């Protein structure tokens, strides 16, 4: 009986050990598969069309005939190479994230970076909640099942370090950082966003005059943004510190940076044309404001086996005719025709016909006192009425 017990225990231990070894092998296989997935997706950046990153002609200065002096173009007067969900190397649906995706997009020449900000922890209002970068679908962090934690989300601080190191390595043109806050308004989490931005990027902040979104961002003279980080969020921060350094709000109901979201169905019927029946209306809005367009992402489970199937780009050439400054594209899907528009730089001046040249306000005319009227008393009907005019 004792021998049977010993044999049974021995067999049990062997099974446990073998199971553990198999588990380790499977886990390593999973990590290898996910690593290979990232490498395969990032391979698109090999021989990627490189944007030259030429400086802005004449530093953005021009002679204004109306004022008879030199002026600077506003930020609304340029097109910007913009990356949608910059941290994704592969697809949108339940996929991995990568620091290298951010690096490659910056090195390729993007001047607008898009990061989705979420939290790690059981309770967003709890003391253990911390800010992360990750893809959020229906209010939950989305990632490839079985992937290691570093493939599920990124540390916001590390993303900022990459941006600070690479964004101005080849160009001094401004970089716009769009922070899409995917959590409910939360002053603790927003303070973490602020403190990490302060630690990594404070030397690149815009002047305090441009904080609190007090200035229409399109009106900011380009010379005031050279070599600077322009911080955009999807809503007004409730944390005062983050609000102070936020230069613009990019959302569908914002007048600071006007965002138009379009769907695949709308693209079938003309895309941005569905928002503007009249071309001249779109041009007028773009001449006076910084305008952005973003295609809504739709989950597609086929992405697991066919990476990037849910990040397909579209023909955005009409956006350039309208003067739309920012059109977000999925760079991991190599938008060739879009990138050709930026062959000379990630920030290019619009054609003259799409730029509004400011004019002096008309002078206030002085009153001609020769025609001033004197008060006259009127009475009548035996005193029934008696008044001055």
CA–CA gap between residue 86 and residue 211 (Å, rounded): 25
CA–CA gap between residue 18 and residue 14 (Å, rounded): 6
Lowest mean pLDDT among 48-52, 58-62, 106-110, 302-306: 48-52
Where b means 16+ CB within 10 Å and e means fewer, 126-153 reads: eeebbbbbbbbeeeebbbbeebeeebbb
State the fold for domain 48-364.
TIM Barrel (3.20.20)
pLDDT digits (tens, 9 = 90+) for 124-172: 999 999 999 999 999 999 999 989 999 999 999 999 999 999 999 999 9
CB 151 within 8 A of CB 135: no
- 186: number of Cβ within 10 Å: 18
How does DSSP assign 230-285, residue by residue?
Answer: EEEESS--SSHHHHHH--EEEETT-SSEEEEEE-HHHHHTTGGGGT-SSHHHHHHH
pTM: 0.85
Domain ranges of the chain: 48-364
Q: Give pLDDT, residue 22.
A: 47
209 token code pair: 């005059």
Distances (CA, A) of 256 to 235, 246, 259, 285, 290: 11, 11, 9, 12, 7
For residue 366, is pLDDT > 90?
Answer: no
pLDDT digits (tens, 9 = 90+) for 147-159: 999 999 999 999 9
């Amino acid at each position: 009986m004792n021998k049977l017990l010993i044999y049974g225990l021995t067999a049990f231990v062997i099974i446990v050990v073998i199971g553990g070894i198999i588990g380790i092998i499977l886990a390593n296989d999973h990590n290898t598969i996910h690593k290979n997935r990232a490498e395969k997706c990032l391979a698109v950046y090999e021989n990627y069309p490189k944007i030259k990153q030429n400086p802005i002609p004449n530093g953005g200065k021009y002679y204004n005939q109306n004022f008879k002096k030199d002026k600077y173009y506003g930020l609304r007067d340029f097109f910007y190479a913009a990356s949608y969900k910059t941290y994704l190397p592969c697809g949108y649906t339940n996929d991995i994230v990568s620091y290298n995706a951010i690096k490659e997009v910056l090195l390729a020449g993007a001047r607008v970076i898009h990061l989705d900000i979420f939290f790690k922890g059981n309770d967003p209002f709890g003391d253990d909640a911390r800010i992360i970068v990750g893809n959020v679908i229906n209010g939950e962090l989305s990632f490839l099942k079985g992937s290691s934690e570093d493939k599920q989300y990124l540390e916001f601080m590390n993303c900022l370090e990459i941006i600070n190191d690479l964004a101005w390595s080849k160009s001094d043109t401004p970089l716009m950082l769009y922070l899409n806050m995917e959590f409910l308004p939360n002053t603790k989490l927003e303070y973490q966003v602020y403190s990490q931005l302060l630690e990594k990027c404070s030397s690149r902040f815009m002047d305090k005059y441009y904080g609190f979104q007090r200035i229409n961002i399109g009106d900011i003279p380009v010379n005031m943004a050279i070599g600077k980080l322009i911080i955009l969020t999807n809503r007004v921060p409730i944390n005062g510190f983050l609000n102070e350094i936020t230069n613009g709000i990019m959302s569908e109901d914002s007048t600071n940076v006007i965002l138009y979201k379009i769907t695949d169905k709308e693209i079938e019927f003309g895309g941005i044309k569905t928002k503007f029946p009249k071309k001249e209306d779109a041009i007028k809005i773009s001449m006076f404001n910084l305008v952005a367009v973003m295609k809504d992402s739709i989950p597609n489970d086929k992405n697991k086996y066919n990476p990037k199937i849910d990040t397909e780009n579209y023909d955005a050439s009409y956006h350039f005719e309208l003067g739309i400054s920012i059109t977000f594209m999925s760079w991991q899907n190599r938008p060739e025709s879009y990138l050709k528009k930026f062959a000379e730089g990630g920030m290019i001046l619009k054609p003259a016909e799409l730029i509004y040249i400011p004019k002096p306000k008309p002078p206030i005319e002085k009153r001609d006192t020769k025609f001033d009227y004197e008060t006259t008393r009127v009475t009548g009907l035996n005193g029934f009425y008696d008044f001055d005019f």
